[in-house]
């Protein structure tokens, strides 16, 4: 009776599929097979990394779009709160204009005073305050000179007249004051821009 008849198979005819995974791992691989196995493993890792990077890129793009949309909305409606407060002042101005200034000047005056107090309260809440320039040393950061005066009896580079009051927004100049500056010596044809630079050398 042959080996096959005895229920035994030739070793060469045994399929590799008949081995379990742990049995395959125990089979010694050739250097070429080992290298191919490592390449396959690295290729799989690379594909996984590329997939993760692509997902992260897609998530970042979506995040950037959301943030961009929020910033756009915030910019578009940034002044909404202050505008609502200004509308209240506008309503009071409309009411004040309904008063006859000739027949009832006292009520008209009281209405205007109330509006001014309302504006003062609004400015204070928003961090807006005026600053004094008259009698101060001219500073181009706080004042813009629109005219000059030559009075030797007054100090040089001093603000002698204020045409329009300046305002601060917290620690920043919101609007510089428009002033007249006293100068003892002035070059011929001095421009307003040159005059505004006088205080830079202080």
Dump pLDDT digits (tens) for 82-139: 889 899 999 999 998 888 888 889 988 999 999 999 999 999 999 999 999 999 999 9
**Mean pLDDT value of segment 24-42:** 80
pLDDT at 27: 64
Q: Is 122 exposed, middle or buried (0-12, 13-18, 19+ CB in 10 A)?
A: middle
Q: Sheet containing 177-182: which strands, arranged edge to edge?
A: 143-149, 177-182, 158-164
Residue 14 pLDDT level (bands cut at 50, 70, 90): very low
Bridge partner residues of 161 (DSSP): 180
pLDDT at 115: 93
- Give the other-Cβ count within 10 Å of 112's Cβ: 15
pLDDT at 29: 79
Q: Whose structure tokens read 């002033």? A: 179
pLDDT at 120: 94
pLDDT at 186: 64
pLDDT at 193: 53
Q: How far apart are CA 139 and CA 194, in angstroms?
A: 13
pTM of the predicted protein model: 0.56
Residue 59 pLDDT level (bands cut at 50, 70, 90): very high
- Radius of gyration (C-alpha) of the chain in whole angstroms: 42
Class of domain 129-201: mainly beta
3-state secondary structure the chain: CCCCCCCCCCHHHCCHHHCCHHHHHCCCCCHHHHHHHHHHHHHHHHHHHHHHHHHHHHHHHHHHHHHHHHHHHHHHCCCHHHHHHHHHHHHHHHHHHCCCCCCCHHHHHHHHHHHHHHHHHHHHHCCEEEECCCCCECCCCCEEEEEEECCCCCCCCEEEEEEECEEEECCEEEECEEEEEECCCCCCCCCHHHHCCHHHHC
Please report, in angstroms and rounded to a whole number, the separation of the first and last CA atoms in the chain: 120
Phi, psi of 157 (to 5 degrees): 65, 35
State the helix-helix crossing angle for 105-125 and 80-97, rounded to 10 degrees.
170
Q: Is the pLDDT of residue 5 over 70?
A: no
Q: How far apart are CA 186 and CA 180, in angstroms?
A: 14
């Amino acid at each position: 009776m042959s080996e096959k008849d005895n229920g035994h198979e030739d070793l060469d005819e045994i399929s590799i599929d008949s081995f379990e995974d742990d049995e395959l791992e125990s089979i010694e691989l050739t250097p070429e097979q080992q290298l191919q196995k490592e390449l396959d493993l690295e290729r799989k890792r690379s594909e996984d990394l590329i997939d993760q990077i692509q997902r992260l890129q897609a998530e970042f793009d979506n995040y950037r779009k959301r943030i961009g949309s929020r910033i756009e909305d915030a910019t578009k409606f940034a002044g909404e709160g202050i505008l609502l407060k200004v509308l209240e002042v506008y309503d009071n101005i409309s009411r004040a204009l309904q008063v006859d200034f000739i027949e009832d000047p006292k009520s008209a005056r009281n209405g205007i005073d109330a509006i001014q107090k309302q504006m003062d309260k609004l400015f204070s809440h928003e961090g807006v305050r005026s600053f004094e320039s008259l009698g101060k040393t001219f500073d181009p950061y706080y004042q813009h000179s629109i005219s000059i005066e030559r009075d030797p009896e007054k100090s040089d580079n001093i603000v002698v007249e204020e045409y329009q009051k300046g305002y601060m927004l917290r620690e920043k100049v919101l609007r510089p004051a428009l002033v007249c500056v006293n100068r003892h010596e002035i070059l011929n044809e001095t421009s307003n821009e040159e005059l505004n630079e006088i205080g830079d050398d202080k």
